[in-house]
Amino acid sequence: MPDVERWQRDYLNSLVVERGLSVHTVAAYRRDLDRYVDWLAGRGITDPASITPGDVTAYERQLATGDETHQPLASASRARALVAVRNLHAFGLAEGLTTRNAAADMPVPKQGQHLPKALSIDQVQTLIEGVERETPLGLRDAALLESLYGTGARVSEAVALDVDDATRLLGDPDLGLRLIGKGNKERIVPVGSFARAALEAYLVRGRPALRQGAKRATPALFLNTRGDRLSRQGAFNIVKERAAQAGITTPISPHALRHSFATHLLDGGADIRVVQELLGHASVTTTQIYTKVTAEHLREVYATAHPRAQRVTR
């Protein structure tokens, strides 16, 4: 089991790589979690698996009352700090770092809801079609981008794919791609012709070249330049670099492609329950945030396209 500090680092890294949060937001999470980690260390707690609900409750009280090194937090700051702790424990359980969520019963403070940022269809096309496909890295990057946008996969799900997953898919046009999501839940996602073609080209001409000179064999589908499995951070860097090359100035991460996948499906008339299944959400409530994105998009289009839209009160 990792120690508490490594647990914190892994979680903060996931906020950047998986969720695409801004530097400022991640810095705020880091400050809140530094206080929690320091508090745990003061109680001699170094293993995430040993944290109990009683520990979490005691920390919650400490935030309200303060101690010799910290002033009591105002209610808004305390709510933010508790959300950080709750999310850290949920991450630990989802990643298999702990066997229970010690913060599961913590009251959930009401927070403002941030709508996910989706790229436009034109931006997605510019991003993907701008990748050269004459080099092994270009073939890999095209296959990765097509897979992320074409299936709505989380970056962790994409980099966990093995060669066998892709060869099964390409062997039968009716098969979907098997993704293993949070809580080890499996789902099958249909894959369109663009992603299939990109994966096939990568498997035939890209991956074998990346395997040359590798020190050990690996079943991984997506490889780095050393021939090892591509990491989440590596995939994040690929998306950012390819976006910069395409001239896309909108902040982008692999998760932005997942957001775009869901938003574009709903814009195209897909049923929200279908999108829920494709994303692997346990509850449709999580998916409903994308309906708010779509409604906002409709209002923006109406406001700019209708000749008398300025008279409408919004």
What residues are labeled active site? 154, 182, 255, 258, 281, 290
Dist. CA 160–CA 179, nearest whole Å = 8
The sign of the CA dihedral 238, 178, 2, 9 is positive
User: How many other C-beta atoms can be found within 10 angstroms of the C-beta atom of residue 96?
Assistant: 10
Dist. CA 198–CA 288, nearest whole Å = 31
Residues 6+ apart with CB under 8 A from 35: 70, 81
Burial class (CB in 10 A: 0-12, 13-18, 19+), 76: exposed
Helices (H), 43-115: 53-65, 75-94
Report the half-sphere exposure of 66 (CA within 13 A, side-chain side): 9
Chain centroid, CA 267 distance in Å: 21
Dist. CA 200–CA 285, nearest whole Å = 36
Dist. CA 262–CA 276, nearest whole Å = 9
Closest CA to 177 of 164, 190, 158: 190
In this structure, are residues 183 and 156 in contact, taking their beta carbons and an 8 Å threshold? no
The single-letter code of the amino acid at 204 is V
Dist. CA 146–CA 13, nearest whole Å = 24
What phi and psi values does residue 141 have, to the nearest 5 degrees? -65, -40
